[in-house]
């Protein structure tokens, strides 16, 4: 896993400052049906390559980020603040 | 009624400061610390915390998007703080953190070398100039760090972690003290 994670607010920080929540998936609508919700809650792909994850900068700015990480090379493609606009996208 | 007397004392009152040629370490007076929270990116929010400060240099410090810490050496009463909060605009809130956070001053020519042992933040004066502030891990302790002068950094930490951080800093200072 990459040891330096680029935070859009704080710059490159070690991964120890972050808490990883897991895959950043689109949340189904409330009436999407049991199957869609079972998928969303329990089922995960295990891709080789780029993967979007929620990371929380717990020991830093305390913002939720979406970090795009390559599971094969450990490179981080980019990271962005979840709540703020896409303008905060940065690349390492 | 408690069986023993509750004594209020500064968190680092029994720690001895270091005074050295190249590095010094001291606990700052437990005055006031106010956390101000606004909407990240809101244009008026930046100027709001200034109205709470005592006007000293570096009294207002950034603490993440839309958040600031207003600090000072003089204690403020609950009434004074509540009066200040009424001046804040809509969508911006203050929280009194005076009892919850402790400030430590590290200064001396070796300060960057000392702090560099515990944090990954680039402390060079070009990338972290005087007045910059950020939250980072020092060892395993989340710390708010402000550069108050070229060779002076103020560390702010949750009260319960103050003694641990102080003891870590002692180790980090040892070779220069």
CATH class, range B31-97 = alpha beta
Domain A4-88, what architecture? 2-Layer Sandwich (3.30)
pLDDT band at B55 (very low <50, low <70, confident <90, very high): confident
Rounded to two decimals, the ipTM of the complex is 0.86
Interface of A with B (CB under 8 A): 4, 9-14, 16-17, 58-63, 81, 83-84
Give yes or no for residue B27 having a pLDDT over 60. Answer: yes
Q: Print pLDDT tens along chain A (92 aa).
A: 568 999 999 999 999 999 999 999 988 999 999 999 999 999 998 999 999 999 999 999 999 999 999 999 989 998 999 887 555 555 55
Convert the pLDDT of each residue in B64-81 to its tens digit.
898 999 999 999 999 999
- Residue in A2, A3, A7, A11 to test binding to B, most B beta-carbons within 10 Å: A11
What percent of chain A has a predicted confidence (pLDDT) above 70?
89
Distance CA A38, CA A5 (A): 31
Give yes or no for residue B47 having a pLDDT over 90. Answer: no
Give residue B128's pLDDT: 95
Q: Mean pLDDT score of chain A, rounded to an integer?
A: 88
**DSSP letter, residue B77:** -
Give residue B142's pLDDT: 96
- Partners of residue B134 in chain A, C-beta under 8 Å: 10, 60
- Identify the burial level of B10 via C-beta atoms within 10 angstroms of its C-beta, where 0-12 means exposed, 13-18 middle and 19 or more buried: middle
**For chain A, domain boundaries:** 4-88
Domain B15-29+100-177, what architecture? 2-Layer Sandwich (3.30)
**For chain B, domain boundaries:** 15-29+100-177, 31-97
């Amino acid at each position: 896993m990459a040891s330096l994670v680029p935070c859009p607010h704080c710059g490159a920080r070690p991964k120890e400052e972050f808490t990883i929540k897991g895959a950043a998936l689109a949340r189904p609508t409330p009436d999407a049906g049991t199957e869609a919700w079972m998928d969303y809650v329990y089922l995960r792909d295990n891709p080789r390559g780029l993967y979007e994850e929620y990371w929380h900068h717990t020991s830093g700015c305390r913002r939720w980020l979406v970090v795009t990480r390559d599971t094969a090379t450990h490179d981080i493609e980019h990271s962005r603040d979840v709540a703020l606009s896409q303008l905060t996208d940065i690349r390492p | 009624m408690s069986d023993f007397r509750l004594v209020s004392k500064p968190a680092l009152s029994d720690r001895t400061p270091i005074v050295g040629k190249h590095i010094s370490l001291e606990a700052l007076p437990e005055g006031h610390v106010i956390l101000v929270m606004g909407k990240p990116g809101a244009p008026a929010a930046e100027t709001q915390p200034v109205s709470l400060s005592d006007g000293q240099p570096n009294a207002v410090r950034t603490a993440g998007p839309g958040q600031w810490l207003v600090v000072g050496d003089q204690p403020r009463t609950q009434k004074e703080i509540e009066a200040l909060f009424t001046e804040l605009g809509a969508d911006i809130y203050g929280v009194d953190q005076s009892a919850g956070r402790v400030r430590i001053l590290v200064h001396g020519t070796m300060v960057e070398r000392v702090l560099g042992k515990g944090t990954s933040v680039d402390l060079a004066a070009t990338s972290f100039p005087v007045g910059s502030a950020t939250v980072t891990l020092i060892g395993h302790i989340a710390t708010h760090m402000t550069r108050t002068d070229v060779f002076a950094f103020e560390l702010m930490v949750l009260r319960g972690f103050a003694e641990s951080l102080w003891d870590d800093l002692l180790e980090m200072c040892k070779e220069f003290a």
